[in-house]
A and B are shown apart, each in its own frame.
Chain A
């Protein structure tokens, strides 16, 4: 099929699929970021069991393959009488995995802060929360713009998991496999989806490096 043929027949669906991918990406990333911050707080708090729990969480979700997690959520959890809709399962999987990486980035962002700064803050009599809010968090965020940009792209790539469950509306990957099993979309059908993914990734990357240049701390 030619590009114009495909677009006239499936154009609306491609737009819908692109929006679905964007929506999944945005929701997952926002949730993953919030969860990542929370986990990071657990990992640096002075209470040992919580630190260990935070580390454990990160190791589990950093190392589990997306397909394995999704299959557990969709097919195995119902045996425990825990049943989520397909969309919720996908969202959980695409949130938990990036949240672990988010926490890792935040931890390494924090490690870029020179120990002297913490000592100086303490010498000036800043309270713990003042120190966290005024010194640690701003610097950790500013030095993690690029890793977070990459994480957003990675989150987008992870949302292709949605194609593994019969979810409606379909995402970009799901749509292509749908088109190719119902008609012969051939290479073109893939090329359109790939182009849309790439354009999104480039847009994210461009915006990210723009922000990074504005806020990066030169050392």
Chain B
């Protein structure tokens, strides 16, 4: 049951003791054939695995393009490596997500709130925090990346992932806003990204325009599926 525990080398008499070859040489012929096959299988398996993982991580090249389907079928979903440690260039802009809501009040009037900088709230939670939570550091940041990757320039979703990313973003915004806001219920929400390039270092000669660029998305109707507790 516990092979690992038993395998302190040199203490296992049956494994062949100090002279390794004796371990294999002492075996009967069928056992030796079996071990030889196992050696071949492990060798081929390791070589194949390493090749696949290498082709997935390396930049697109002749081999990886030719065998893309084999590589993808093997590597995804479990053996993928999906981060590149700030390569080829580190992110050089702060991407913030803002949201606002249209609220239906009890007296029949509607009100549109100002833009709320949700990313700034994450930033505040991260300040002075030695171990920021994934909910603060990754949730909104990666949800926006996901959304942007699967939406066209007109803010329209691309494929299933486009629709999923939209609902995900809505649910994040609604979790942070709450169904009730400013004394009314949230009927529609709108998000925009605010992209601000990082100013070039003070010690460099470089000049850059660091004006914030906004990408405003369409208004979205809020349904019960977008609220916490409203999952299908």
Q: Does B bind A?
A: no
B residues near A (Cβ < 8 Å) are: none
